[in-house]
Chains A and B, each alone.
Chain A
Amino acid sequence: MEPGRERFERTIAADERIEPRDWMPDAYRATLVRQIAQHAHSEIIGMQPEGSWITRAPSLRRKAILIAKVQDEAGHGLYLYGAAETLGVDRDELLDKLHSGRHKYSSIFNYPTPTWADVGAIGWLVDGAAITNQVPLCRCSYGPYARAMVRICKEESFHQRQGYELLLTLSRGTPEQHAMAQDAVDRWWWPSLMMFGPPDDASPRSARSMAWKIKRHSNDELRQRFVDICVDQAAALGLTLPDPDLRWNEERGHWDFGAIDWDEFHAVLRGEGPCNEERLTRRRRAHDEGAWVREAAAAYADKRAGVGAAA
């Protein structure tokens, strides 16, 4: 075996981290680029569904919280693009692929946010599912990705709590507010369960990612963990989860839950979700409309560099 590959395998086996300049198999690098880029894109696109409520937040307190949360998501995207770049790709190239539809982002962000309660449901369920997925990634075998995930996970817990508190406030409010909270949970519950990806027997690349210790738990394992956590949290909110098959299984020591509509998942992934077009169009427009800022900053930097050289 070549020395690079041998060292790579020894490092993985010893549960140590691979760092950017180490030798790594091409497929390991490609898998990480795809996963980290998709993750980064999701953080960036993920600003839109909630961002649309910033101007309509019901109080100054809620507005400040929402701005801080959405700003964090931008930060998460930047940490992750930074981690992807250590693998030898260029951020502009990744953005191009997002804008041209060649790269995916999490399908959860293709659902609409028609009411204020959606901001709460996203914080509780979408950020909650993301945390369940991301905590094990803090021990991912690729160092820069793992380090980015540590920062992200620290910030996510505020996201989840503010969403939970928002829903609790609505749930304890007027009957209309309570109904609004319940409606949001009813709409976000199933898409949140889809965030863990296809079931294990339909997830062909999972085994290899687990062998490389990029992934630490299977999709179904993480999904079950999330369901188990949410049941009590929903009860404390005074809200129900929209699944008639949800019941405690004494034997398994877990909650059983109903079948997920994977046709919907694949349709949304193919671009047929309610907001795919809107999200991408808005992202492209934001990028194009920011061009003059990038140009002006670069021109200023060039000018200053010229002044420095002349002095």
Chain B
Amino acid sequence: MSEAERGWPLWEVFVRPRRGLAHTHAGSLHAPDAELALRNARDLFTRRGEGVSIWVVPAAAVSASSPDERDPFFRPAADKPYRHPTFYEVPEGVRHL
């Protein structure tokens, strides 16, 4: 089956709204290649100046953590309150700490 019959691959689109901000996920779209994915992403997600930079990534190239293992996967963080500044006691009156 040709690419056209199969349908164009899916791309995930990330948009940087302003200089100084990170790219964030905006959505996905179909396109035959990266160049057209970028053009389509511009027309689809930045019609009102919502971005100054776009990344497109083939959806098939994204690896994700499993939702089923969500709790055990993130558990190592749960019992380490000493990673937060609020864990520590500071005497009254001490400033800039």
**Do B10 and A85 touch across chains, with their CB atoms under 8 A apart?**
yes
**Do A91 and B30 touch across chains, with their CB atoms under 8 A apart?**
yes
**Do B3 and A90 touch across chains, with their CB atoms under 8 A apart?**
no
A26 at interface (Cβ–Cβ under 8 A)? no
In terms of DSSP, what is the predominant structure of the interface of chain B?
A: mixed
**Do B67 and A19 touch across chains, with their CB atoms under 8 A apart?**
yes
Total A-B pairs in contact (CB under 8 Å)? 60
Which of A105-113, A134-142, A237-245, A297-305 lines the interface with chain B? A297-305
A22 at interface (Cβ–Cβ under 8 A)? yes
Interface residues of B in 33-87 (CB under 8 A from A): 33, 36, 43-44, 47-48, 64, 66-68
Interface size on B, residues (CB 8 A): 21
**Do B3 and A82 touch across chains, with their CB atoms under 8 A apart?**
no
- Taking the closest CB of chain A, its distance from the CB of B49, in whole angstroms, is 13
**Do A90 and B7 touch across chains, with their CB atoms under 8 A apart?**
yes
* Residues on the B chain within 8 Å of A251, using CB: none
Q: Which 10 A-B pairs have the closest CB atoms?
A: A298-B3, A301-B32, A301-B33, A297-B32, A298-B4, A295-B4, A21-B67, A92-B7, A294-B4, A82-B28
A23-B68, A91-B7, A151-B27 given. 14 additional CB < 8 A pairs? A21-B64, A21-B66, A23-B67, A71-B47, A75-B47, A79-B27, A85-B10, A85-B28, A91-B30, A148-B27, A294-B8, A295-B4, A297-B4, A298-B3
